[in-house]
Amino acid sequence: MNLRKQPLPHRSRPATLAAAVRGALLYLPLASVILSMPLTAIAEQTTNQEFSIAPGNLDAALSQFSRQAGVSVAFDAKLLAGKSTLGLQGAFAPDEALNRLLAGSGLQAERQDRGGYVLVETKSAGTINLDAMRVEDNALGTITEQTKSYTPGTIATATRLVLTPRETPQTVTVVTRQHMDDFNLTNINKVMDHTPGVTRRGTDNYRSYYYARGYEIRNFQYDGIPVLSDGINFMGETTSDMIQYDRVEVIKGASGLTTGAGSPGATINLVRKKPTHEFSGHATAEYGRWDNYRTEWDVGGPLDESGSIRGRFATAFQDQQSYMDHFKEQKRALYGILEVDLSPKTMLTFGGNYDKTIPTGTSWGGTPFFDSHNNEINTSRSFNPGASWSRAEQFSHAFFSQLDHEFDNGWSSRAYYTFQRNAYDANLGSIKYTPDGDTGSSELLSGQYRYKTRSQALEAYARGPFELFGRTHELAVGVSGYHNHLKGSGHNVIRVPVDNIGEWNGRAERPDWGGILYRAEDRINQRAVYASGRFSLSDDLAVILGGRVTNYRRGGDSNMRETGEVIPFAGVTYDLSDNFSLYASYTKIFRPQSVRDESYAVLDPDEGDSYEGGLKSEWFNGRLNASLAYFEIRQDNRAESIGTLTNSNGMTYSAYRGTKAKTKGIELEVSGELMPGWNIQAGFTHQVIREDETNEKLTTQAPENQFKLYTTYRLPGRLSKMTIGGGGSYQGTTWRDGTDALGNEHQFKNEAFWLVNLMGRYQITNNLSATLNVNNLLDKYYYSNYGDRWTGIATKMYGEPRNMMLTTRWDF
């Protein structure tokens, strides 16, 4: 929305009338500001130099350029007002470096005879100045593409206010486009594996669940707009292809201010790519272990001479086998977006995406843990309990549209609508019963299921500055409405005999499931109004206050209604110095539940409080960010299983009781650039969840301790065409209490383990590069799931062995 407007800088004071008069006298229209650096005859200088300039304010970026290049840059201060840059990373000649910094600003650099540069407006005879039509969607924070950065410049997901990470009184972890490209993070499962503080647990060879701060992540947003899923994560959310996204943001803790009803662990926000103002794109050809083939095509740019209409189209196709026997998967993704500048301050955007995943040989859960003699079943990592005909086709497609407008008083507005349809069509068959200890015979559990959801979201909000008590503050206000409609059906569940699990090769008779056994339907409606304000009480102290009033209704068997539910938010930041800030925040937990208690009544909503506080820091003008957080989550009605019961109609169901629980933990994160060419993202998390009454630990399938570190370094000098990197993750011991094959109590414990990854990239030409990624370098045996119970028995599933992927990429 000017969309290029930056947040208020640190320690900014409102301009008084006297200050404005003094400024006008100091900066006359024809005066220029000369950056005080030694003059250099740049006209004769052609040697590449290393530059490391963060995205953000153009004035500050030019100061960094002047220092790093050793040249002077003169300009009229008024020309730079409100302008920003995407920054610069890498080795360039000064001419090229300066042109890249000025790209899209409407300014150009004229070289002077005695050295240095003077900035002037770009002239275009007979046409309107292109900069006047350069409306850029920056309402969700800094676009990370082309920044070569592992940290965001600004973010807006947590509060709807565009703030730097340091100004945001909550932990928000961002996996940027550069991080995804470096480590070949082509799907959201891989992104979550690299995200500090997030654990991924595989339930079978095509589904995963994510955990943060000990809680399953059930909240998903697209471009900051919630799309309700209520934990149905096998119909699009966890199969998303990353070709269409600029970055993935994970808001740690409860996010009721922008989400409404939801889990207290975290919210995942997928931010889509934007069209580019200049023609550009890339294509890839990739090959990896287990016949893993992938290609991407991504192209964007202006569609008319003035650049007021811009488009982008991206597609990816992947066909891969697996380390598991007779399992293969095919993925297709399409994405398109169009931006139209209706006026210099109004922009219309619309687009859509299509994701489809076709896995065959799918398992349904893991492999049985014990045989009938209570002996642990030892299978290879390649063992697949699924039948060769078992499949679970999933797809997701969405349409979205938004209208942005910037007002003359500094305020901006956005109206956003999205429609999303997800579907799941499965014919499943997998060994899910205890094998005979003598003969090895067992049975497949088979079933046919179809589900689809239709989700719609409409949201409108405005934000901008206002003056109060002689200081400038910021305010955001909005309204939203979401609707989610699920329909599904299931056929008869049939057991299929298996002669010997030791000789299993996936071949089994495919049954006839007959007619539909049951139908399911569910509707969720949520309406809300919200507001948040950032009040600058002094140069060092800022307070964020906000709230959301939600009306929630769920149809179907649940038939729940919550009206006028108030979800407050409060946060404070205090700058200790130029680099360090203290912060604290509070918000309420509100999550309606669909599970039932021992009397078959729907459990009351899970409510409580979420607290967070700690220390944040930024270095090198925001190119490196770090945080240390203590968090505490208090739940008043957490659902805990009490086993399987039968209701008055003779139907068997899983019963739950409400209990009080408390989560305590710490989180340490760092992301960004340690030095020019050296990027890093790392984090350590420790958390424990205990029931208040018994002090018993809960959610033990999520590790109490977790550490992740990923880094890349571009070699200097003559070796600058090489980038090397790697990293790893540590996951502490997890466990689940259950029973063995004889009904005895048994604790299933997955010991702590490390996974190590490597990457290397060679820039063959300016446009062509080759990248090699090696995952699980040490070929560690580990379990992605251990002790889950299916059909009353415990199961297990191995994680991926060592694998490699070679990517050749052509940028144009």
Let me know: does 777 contact 735? Beta carbons within 8 Å.
no
Residues 204-230: tens digit of each pLDDT = 888 888 999 989 898 889 999 988 655
Q: Which CATH number fits domain 280-811: 2.40.170.20, 3.40.50.2000, 3.20.20.80, 3.30.750.24?
A: 2.40.170.20
Q: According to the model, what pLDDT value does residue 30 have?
A: 27
Whole-angstrom CA distances from 60 to 67, 681, 749 are: 11, 25, 53
Let me know: does 659 contact 693? Beta carbons within 8 Å.
yes
Q: Is 42 left (phi over 0), alpha (psi -120 to 50) or beta?
A: alpha
Q: According to the model, what pLDDT value does residue 640 have?
A: 86
Taking Cα atoms as reference points, which of 505, 498, 185, 496 lies closest to residue 324? Answer: 505
Radius of gyration from C-alpha coordinates of the chain: 28
Residues 341-375: tens digit of each pLDDT = 999 999 999 999 999 999 999 999 899 999 999 99
Taking Cα atoms as reference points, which of 473, 355, 454 lies closest to residue 410? Answer: 473
Rounded Cα gap, residues 768 and 126, in angstroms: 38
CB atoms within 10 A of CB 26: 10
Structure tokens at 202: 């595989």
Let me know: does 359 contact 385? Beta carbons within 8 Å.
no
Asked if the model's pLDDT at residue 17 lies above 90, the reply is: no
The highest-level CATH class for domain 32-132 is alpha beta
Mean pLDDT across 778-786: 93
Place of tokens 């969607």: 137
Asked if the model's pLDDT at residue 75 lies above 60, the reply is: yes
DSSP string, 55-123: SEEHHHHHHHHHHHHT--EEE-GGGGTT-EE--EEEEE-HHHHHHHHHTTTTEEEEE-TTSSEEEEEPP
Phi and psi at 231, nearest 5°, equal: 85, 0
Rounded Cα gap, residues 712 and 89, in angstroms: 13
β pairing state of 678-691 and 652-675: antiparallel
Place of tokens 């108030």: 566
Asked if the model's pLDDT at residue 19 lies above 70, the reply is: no
Q: How many residues does the chain have?
A: 812
The residues, ordered by sequence, that sit 6+ positions from 799 with a Cβ below 8 Å of its Cβ are 202, 755, 776, 782, 783, 784
Rounded Cα gap, residues 209 and 510, in angstroms: 29
Q: According to the model, what pLDDT value does residue 82 have?
A: 63
Please tell me the number of Cα atoms within 13 Å of 587 on its side-chain side.
Answer: 35
Which one of 75-84, 243-252, 587-596 scores highest in mean pLDDT? 243-252
Q: According to the model, what pLDDT value does residue 48 have?
A: 72
Residues 623-680: tens digit of each pLDDT = 999 999 999 999 999 988 887 888 777 777 888 998 999 999 999 999 999 998 999 9
CA 338 to chain centre: 22
β pairing state of 117-121 and 73-75: parallel
780 or 737, higher pLDDT: 780
| Angle, in degrees to the nearest 10, between helices 94-102 and 58-69 | 180
Q: How far apart are the first and last CA of the chain?
A: 27
- In degrees, rounded to 5, the angle at the alpha carbon of residue 214 between the alpha carbons of residues 209 and 215 is 55
Mean pLDDT across 455-473: 94
Mean pLDDT across 763-789: 94
* Positive/negative CA dihedral, 434, 439, 440, 446: negative
63 or 180, higher pLDDT: 180
Helix (H) or strand (E) segment spanning residue 811: strand 803-811
Taking Cα atoms as reference points, which of 564, 567, 668, 676 lies closest to residue 625? Answer: 668
Whole-angstrom CA distances from 391 to 293, 329, 387, 447 are: 20, 10, 9, 11
* Domain chopping of the chain, boundaries: 32-132, 280-811
Q: According to the model, what pLDDT value does residue 593 have?
A: 84
CB atoms within 10 A of CB 649: 6
Q: According to the model, what pLDDT value does residue 16 have?
A: 36
DSSP-assigned letter for residue 17:
H
Summary count for the chain: helices (H), strands (E): 6, 44
Q: According to the model, what pLDDT value does residue 734 have?
A: 93
Let me know: does 262 contact 246? Beta carbons within 8 Å.
no
Q: According to the model, what pLDDT value does residue 9 have?
A: 36
Q: Is 25 left (phi over 0), alpha (psi -120 to 50) or beta?
A: alpha
Let me know: does 88 contact 103? Beta carbons within 8 Å.
no
Q: According to the model, what pLDDT value does residue 67 have?
A: 67
Phi and psi at 379, nearest 5°, equal: -125, 160
Q: Which residues of 500-623 form beta strands (DSSP E)?
A: 516-536, 541-554, 560-575, 580-591, 606-619
pTM of the model: 0.83
| SS3 of the chain: helix, strand, coil, percent, to 5 | 10, 55, 35
Taking Cα atoms as reference points, which of 45, 103, 47, 40 lies closest to residue 73? Answer: 40
Q: According to the model, what pLDDT value does residue 771 have?
A: 98
Percent of the chain with pLDDT over 90: 62
Q: Which residues of 137-279 form beta strands (DSSP E)?
A: 172-175, 198-202, 208-212, 215-216, 219-222, 225-226, 245-252, 266-272
Mean pLDDT across 75-92: 74
CB atoms within 10 A of CB 45: 15
Q: According to the model, what pLDDT value does residue 294 have?
A: 98
Structure tokens at 403: 């209208």
The strand pairing partners of 53, in sequence order, are 88
- In degrees, rounded to 5, the angle at the alpha carbon of residue 269 between the alpha carbons of residues 328 and 53 is 105
The strand pairing partners of 535, in sequence order, are 543
Let me know: does 375 contact 367? Beta carbons within 8 Å.
no
Asked if the model's pLDDT at residue 10 lies above 60, the reply is: no
Rounded Cα gap, residues 549 and 531, in angstroms: 9
User: What average pLDDT does the chain have?
Assistant: 86
Residues 292-330: tens digit of each pLDDT = 999 999 999 999 999 999 999 999 999 999 999 999 999
Let me know: does 587 contact 262? Beta carbons within 8 Å.
no
Does residue 577 sit in helix, strand or coil?
A: coil
Asked if the model's pLDDT at residue 4 lies above 50, the reply is: no
Rounded Cα gap, residues 749 and 50, in angstroms: 50
Residues 22-67: tens digit of each pLDDT = 333 333 232 333 233 333 333 334 467 778 887 777 877 887 787 6
Asked if the model's pLDDT at residue 179 lies above 90, the reply is: yes
Rounded Cα gap, residues 629 and 116, in angstroms: 46
DSSP-assigned letter for residue 18:
H
Rounded Cα gap, residues 105 and 672, in angstroms: 25
Q: According to the model, what pLDDT value does residue 87 have?
A: 80
Range with lowest mean pLDDT among 21-25, 189-193, 349-353, 440-444: 21-25
Range with lowest mean pLDDT among 22-26, 323-327, 466-470, 572-576: 22-26
Let me know: does 33 contact 63? Beta carbons within 8 Å.
no
CB atoms within 10 A of CB 400: 20
Let me know: does 674 contact 680? Beta carbons within 8 Å.
yes
Rounded Cα gap, residues 245 and 186, in angstroms: 10
Let me know: does 279 contact 272? Beta carbons within 8 Å.
no
Mean pLDDT across 685-701: 90
Does residue 468 sit in helix, strand or coil?
A: strand
574 or 785, higher pLDDT: 574
The residues, ordered by sequence, that sit 6+ positions from 580 with a Cβ below 8 Å of its Cβ are 615, 616, 617
